[in-house]
């Protein structure tokens, strides 16, 4: 039986979208004044740190609730 493919977490998909919107890891890193290696680490971890999410949203237009739904998502009623 072949191994099942995992569906990426929504936060990772949003981070990938932010990287693409910025023009790549290097471009996003420059906008945030951090290293490309930091952005690469976030991608490996599957999410951006909470303290950077608002900056990423401002730089790319990707909503903070998509980047970190565990912190910023509005609970459904």
Could you tell me the residue ranges of all domains in the chain? 10-66
Q: Does domain 10-66 have CATH number 1.10.260.40?
A: yes
- Given a cut of 80, whether residue 57 has pLDDT beyond it is yes
Q: Which residues contact 29 (CB under 8 A, 6 or more apart)?
A: 35, 36, 38, 39
φ, ψ of residue 49 to 5 degrees: the values are -70, 145
Average pLDDT over residues 24-28: 98
Query: Cβ(35)–Cβ(25) under 8 Å?
Result: no
Structure confidence at residue 75 (pLDDT): 73
Q: How confident is the model at residue 76 (pLDDT cuts 50, 70, 90)?
A: confident
Predicted TM-score of the model (pTM): 0.86
pLDDT in tens, 27-39: 999 999 999 999 9
Residue 66: predicted pLDDT = 95
């Amino acid at each position: 039986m072949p191994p099942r493919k995992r569906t990426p977490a929504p936060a990772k998909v949003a981070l990938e979208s932010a990287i693409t919107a910025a023009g790549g890891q290097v471009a996003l890193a420059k906008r945030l004044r951090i290293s490309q290696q930091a952005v690469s680490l976030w991608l490996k971890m599957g999410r951006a740190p909470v303290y950077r999410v608002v900056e990423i949203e401002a730089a790319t237009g990707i909503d903070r609730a998509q980047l970190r739904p565990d912190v910023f998502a509005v609970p459904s009623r």
